[in-house]
């Protein structure tokens, strides 16, 4: 008799299903029960720029970024011997491609209506150098990012919502940074809030920013095969003067100890060769200006 | 035919090396190659929506429900961070918040609760301090919607509009409704250049337009009438469509354009013929 059969004989008399414990409801200060229901706040209104993307930009971007390919792409040439996937001894070994990962030279996936370039999230990131002196100096940037984004951790019951996060040092830089030292703050914006931030940026901030030519393009001679060129992310920085131009902060600018600059990263689904240019096409559809040096 | 008479009847008459020299008979006549098609370009000039879409009743109910949940669950508002205590602005905000909460949850809840921070001053007093701002939004229906003016670019602000022209066809004096179209004439002219030229030539210079990309977005083939046997077949016509956007200005029709209109997809279907509609309908936005 095998061990499994013995166990089956022992448990034959009772159900294997665990008995469900009934959780007691938590009561609020007035004595009213709070139901344990996972309530998630979804969109509360139509997103104007989101509608603009779906109505107009997605079509235009498909037409502009379409590359005609006749037939399926040829499979990659395997000129190096591979570990035998059938052999249990070596099947988990990696088979690195010849010539490295070829990161900058990977072709973009074939253009289809499903993979038209779109914004996935916008990340705001600010570094506070004086947080090294005193951690209290980080409160200003944290409050500014909260006011700008309106995001809180698990806000609206969304598990993915990380809210404003403290950025900590990763490496040890002699006499300056140690790993784990709080250095700045960042926040991710998605969905409706992301489009609202984009609208605020292009309508209130950039037009009022003094001597702002637009996002500077790299010189024409710059290589497009860098990791940044194929990652599908376009970034730019705003000077500290720009913080006072956001309406969320303009109303009580004097409540902040000082103004902070920030980096803004537009993170999209574009991948492969020419990804950065496709992201620029997308962003200029949202009226973000670009300028040559 | 004479060639068949010359053909050797027996392979033994000539040595095998010479046999192929006599295989001159044309057994199969090549069908005549169809002539090269006439190339035309047309521009689908689009006026994108200028107003945000009105949500459907279902969407409105959904958004109202989500807004109530959000109002019920949001973090406490940091009054002391945004307002000086007892300031006029705080009173104004409290009054507005009370109105919004009463609308969402009914009287007696949220900011409308008797224990909630109230306004130090009444709404009548606030009116004395600051003038009541006129915040009535502009109407979502334009005058051209009421008058049925199909040439106005302000009509149907929520919809995609397309430029349709009543154009003379090549052969007859008859006019048909279609997208502005012309022939690619010059040798070596590229399709997208032809499209831009065609739009300028037919609809005037008084428009600020942008042709999207250099690639056509669609192709419509007009099959020629069947030619008589043993004669050269007629060429077919290939119309390549380009998408364009209008930024400013208006159409100033040339002599070959009898009329023009800015129409939605459904309105276009009524004007164009059935075959043309079948070729272009998938290039247009439903909304």
Complex ipTM, two decimals?
Answer: 0.82
For residues A23-29, average pLDDT = 84
Q: CATH 3.90.79.10 region(s) of chain B?
A: 38-50+154-283
Partner residue opposite B82 with nearest CB, options A60, A157, A252: A252
Q: Kindly list the residues from chain A whose CB atom is less than 8 angstroms away from the CB atom of residue B73.
A: 39, 41, 156-157
pLDDT score of A8 more than 80: no
Q: Which residue of A has its CA nearest to B74?
A: A156
Asked, for residue A258, whether it belongs to a domain, the answer is yes
Rounded Cα distance between B155 and B161, Å, is 9
Q: Whole-number mean pLDDT of chain A?
A: 89
**Domain housing A207:** 48-64+82-129+186-291
Task: Single out the residue of B114, B111, B113, B110 nearest to residue B94, CA to CA.
Answer: B111
Comparison of pLDDT for A36 and B28, the residue scoring more = A36
What DSSP string runs through A215-273?
Answer: EEPPPTTS-S-SHHHHTTEEEEEE-GGGGGGSHHHHTTGGGSSS---EEEEEEES--ST
What is the number of other CB atoms lying within 10 angstroms of the CB of residue A65?
20
Comparison of pLDDT for A190 and A23, the residue scoring more = A190
Predicted confidence at residue A81, as pLDDT, reads 87
Q: Do A55 and B67 touch (CB under 8 A)?
A: no
Q: Do A255 and B243 touch (CB under 8 A)?
A: no
* pLDDT band of A220, cuts 50, 70, 90: confident
Partner residue opposite B67 with nearest CB, options A44, A55, A251: A44
What CATH number has the domain bearing residue A216? 3.30.1440.10
Q: Domain count for chain A, please give it.
A: 1
**B59 close contact with A: CB closer than 8 A:** yes
**Residue of A38, A43, A248, A284 to mutate, testing the B interface (most B Cβ within 10 Å of its Cβ):** A43
Task: Single out the residue of A249, A268, A272, A276 nearest to residue A260, CA to CA.
Answer: A249
Asked, for residue A164, whether it belongs to a domain, the answer is no
Report CA A132 to chain centroid distance, whole Å. 26
**B110 close contact with A: CB closer than 8 A:** no
Q: Which residue of B has its CA nearest to A66?
A: B215
Asked, for residue A243, whether it belongs to a domain, the answer is yes
Task: Single out the residue of A114, A115, A111, A138 nearest to residue A127, CA to CA.
Answer: A138
Task: Single out the residue of B242, B75, B159, B150 nearest to residue A154, CA to CA.
Answer: B75
Partner residue opposite A41 with nearest CB, options B46, B73, B215: B73
Rounded Cα distance between A167 and A185, Å, is 5
Please report, to the nearest 10 degrees, the dihedral formed by the alpha carbons of residues B145, B149, B150, B151 taken in order: -120
pLDDT score of A90 more than 90: yes
Rounded Cα distance between B262 and B76, Å, is 50
Residues of chain B with pLDDT under 70: 1-32, 117-134, 170-173
Predicted confidence at residue B11, as pLDDT, reads 43
Cβ-based contacts under 8 A for chains A and B? 65
Query: Number of H helices and number of E strands within chain B?
Result: 10, 8
Q: What digits encode the pLDDT tens for the residues A127-151?
A: 999 999 999 999 999 999 999 999 9
Task: Single out the residue of B285, B206, B287, B256 nearest to residue B44, CA to CA.
Answer: B285
Q: What digits encode the pLDDT tens for the residues A242-270?
A: 999 999 999 889 999 999 999 999 999 99
Asked, for residue A5, whether it belongs to a domain, the answer is no
Predicted confidence at residue A34, as pLDDT, reads 81
Q: What digits encode the pLDDT tens for the residues A268-281?
A: 999 988 899 999 99
Q: Do A46 and B63 touch (CB under 8 A)?
A: yes
Q: Do A51 and B53 touch (CB under 8 A)?
A: yes
Task: Give just the sign of the alpha carbon dihedral A79, A85, A87, A92.
Answer: positive
Q: What digits encode the pLDDT tens for the residues A174-197?
A: 888 899 999 999 999 999 999 999
Q: Are A257 and A143 in contact (CB under 8 A)?
A: no
Q: Which residue of B has its CA nearest to A285?
A: B212
**B285 close contact with A: CB closer than 8 A:** yes
Asked, for residue A22, whether it belongs to a domain, the answer is no
**B32 close contact with A: CB closer than 8 A:** no
Q: Kindly list the residues from chain A whose CB atom is less than 8 angstroms away from the CB atom of residue B217.
A: 63
Asked, for residue A255, whether it belongs to a domain, the answer is yes
Asked, for residue A108, whether it belongs to a domain, the answer is yes
Chain A positions contacting chain B at CB under 8 Å are: 39, 41-46, 48, 51-52, 55-56, 59-60, 63-64, 66, 68, 143, 152, 155-157, 251-252, 255
Q: What digits encode the pLDDT tens for the residues A47-69?
A: 999 999 999 999 999 999 999 89
Partner residue opposite A44 with nearest CB, options B46, B63, B217: B63
What DSSP string runs through B69-136?
Answer: HHHHHSPPP-HHHHS-TT-HHHHHHHHHHHHHHHHHH-TTSGGGSTTS---SS-HHHHHHHSPPP--P
Q: What is the CATH number of domain B38-50+154-283?
A: 3.90.79.10
């Amino acid at each position: 008799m095998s061990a499994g059969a013995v166990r089956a004989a022992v448990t034959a008399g009772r159900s294997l299903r665990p008995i469900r414990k009934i959780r007691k409801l938590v009561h609020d200060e007035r004595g009213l029960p709070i139901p344990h229901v996972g309530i998630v706040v979804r969109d509360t209104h139509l997103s104007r720029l989101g509608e603009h993307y779906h109505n107009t930009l997605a079509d235009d971007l498909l037409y502009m970024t379409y590359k005609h390919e006749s037939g399926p792409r040829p499979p990659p040439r395997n000129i190096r011997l591979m570990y035998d996937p059938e052999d249990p001894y070596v099947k988990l070994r990696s088979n690195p491609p010849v010539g490295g990962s070829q990161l900058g030279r990977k072709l973009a996936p074939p253009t289809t209506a499903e993979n038209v370039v779109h914004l996935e999230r916008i990340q705001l990131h600010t570094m506070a150098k004086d947080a090294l002196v005193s951690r209290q100096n980080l409160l200003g940037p944290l409050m500014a990012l909260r006011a700008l984004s309106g995001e809180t951790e698990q806000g609206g019951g969304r598990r993915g919502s990380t809210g404003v996060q403290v950025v900590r040092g990763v490496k040890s830089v002699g006499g300056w940074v140690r790993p784990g030292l709080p250095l700045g703050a960042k926040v991710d914006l998605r969905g409706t809030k992301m489009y609202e931030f984009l609208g605020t940026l292009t309508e209130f901030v950039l037009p009022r920013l003094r001597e702002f030519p637009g996002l500077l393009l790299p010189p024409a001679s710059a290589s497009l095969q860098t990791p940044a060129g194929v990652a599908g992310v376009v970034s730019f920085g705003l000077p500290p003067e720009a913080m006072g131009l956001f309406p969320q902060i303009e109303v009580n600018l004097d409540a902040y100890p000082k103004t902070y600059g920030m980096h803004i990263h537009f993170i999209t689904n574009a991948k492969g060769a020419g990804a950065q240019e496709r992201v620029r096409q997308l962003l200029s559809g949202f009226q973000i200006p670009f300028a040559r040096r | 035919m004479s060639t068949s008479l010359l053909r050797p009847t027996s392979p033994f008459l000539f040595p095998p090396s010479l046999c192929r020299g006599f295989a001159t008979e044309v057994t199969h006549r090549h069908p005549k190659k169809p002539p090269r098609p006439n190339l035309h370009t047309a521009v689908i000039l689009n006026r994108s929506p200028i107003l945000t879409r009105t949500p459907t009743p279902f969407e409105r109910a959904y958004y109202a429900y989500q807004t109530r949940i959000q109002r019920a669950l949001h973090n406490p508002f940091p009054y002391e961070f945004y307002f000086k205590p007892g300031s006029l602005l705080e009173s104004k905000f409290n009054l507005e918040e009370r109105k919004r909460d009463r609308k969402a949850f009914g009287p007696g809840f949220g900011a409308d609760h008797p224990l909630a921070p109230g306004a130090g001053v009444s709404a009548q007093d606030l009116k004395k301090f600051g003038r009541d701002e006129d915040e009535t939004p502009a109407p979502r229906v334009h005058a051209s919607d009421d008058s049925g003016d199909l040439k106005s670019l302000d009509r149907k602000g929520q919809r995609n509009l397309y430029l349709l022209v009543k154009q003379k066809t090549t052969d007859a004096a008859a006019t048909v409704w279609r997208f502005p179209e012309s022939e690619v004439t010059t040798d070596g002219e590229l399709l997208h250049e032809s499209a831009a030229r065609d739009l300028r030539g037919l609809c005037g210079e008084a428009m600020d337009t942008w042709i999207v990309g250099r690639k056509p977005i669609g192709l419509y083939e007009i099959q020629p009438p069947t030619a008589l046997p043993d004669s050269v077949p007629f060429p077919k016509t290939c119309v390549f469509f380009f998408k364009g956007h209008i930024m400013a200005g208006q159409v100033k029709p040339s002599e070959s354009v009898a009329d023009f209109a800015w129409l939605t997809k459904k309105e276009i279907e009524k004007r164009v013929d059935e075959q043309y509609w079948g070729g272009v309908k998938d290039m247009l936005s439903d909304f």
